[in-house]
Amino acid sequence: MRLVDTSSWVEYLRNRDSAAGDTVAALVLAGEAAWCDMTLVELWHGVRGAKEKKMLAEMESEIERIAVDRDVWNTASKLAQCARETGFTVPASDIIIAACATTRGLELEHCDKHFDDLLPIAKSLR
């Protein structure tokens, strides 16, 4: 199972010819793609047309949802503080997604460069 960040879901949902979109497609076909509530909030916030809305609604019942519980929130709080102390300023939503992946021991599929710096910090917290 791999937690997929919003950046990679967007590549997949918009059917872009990209490595990220192809990776998500393979994960979906293999039943290995997952998302968390924060990812869904970001996707629903950005969804545009009726076709995309229908596709996302159908996927909600098929894609595994990883819980964002107290452990994830605690890790996210620590990660936010450590990231700030290290000089990283990233969106809170990305901190929550990284914390979810780390807390659950999942790889994070992403095409957002700042995760390359954020994830090692998150892993050091566990």
CATH number of the domain to which 34 belongs: 3.40.50.1010
Cα gap 9→41, rounded to integer Å: 12
Structure tokens belonging to residue 85:
């102390």
Using alpha carbons, list the distances in angstroms from residue 58 to 2, 26, 54, 62, 82.
Answer: 19, 18, 6, 7, 37
Judge whether residue 16 has pLDDT over 90: no
Continuous segment of H or E residues that includes residue 93: helix 92-104
Q: What is the pLDDT of residues 64-92, one digit of tens each?
A: 999 999 999 999 999 999 999 989 889 99
Cα gap 109→19, rounded to integer Å: 11
Domain enclosing residue 69, as ranges: 2-124
Q: What is the pLDDT of residues 36-68, one digit of tens each?
A: 999 999 999 998 889 888 989 999 999 999 999
Per the structure, the count of domains in the chain is 1
Cα gap 77→71, rounded to integer Å: 10
Judge whether residue 122 has pLDDT over 80: yes
Cα gap 88→101, rounded to integer Å: 19
Q: What is the pLDDT of residue 49?
A: 85
Q: pTM to 2 decimals?
A: 0.92
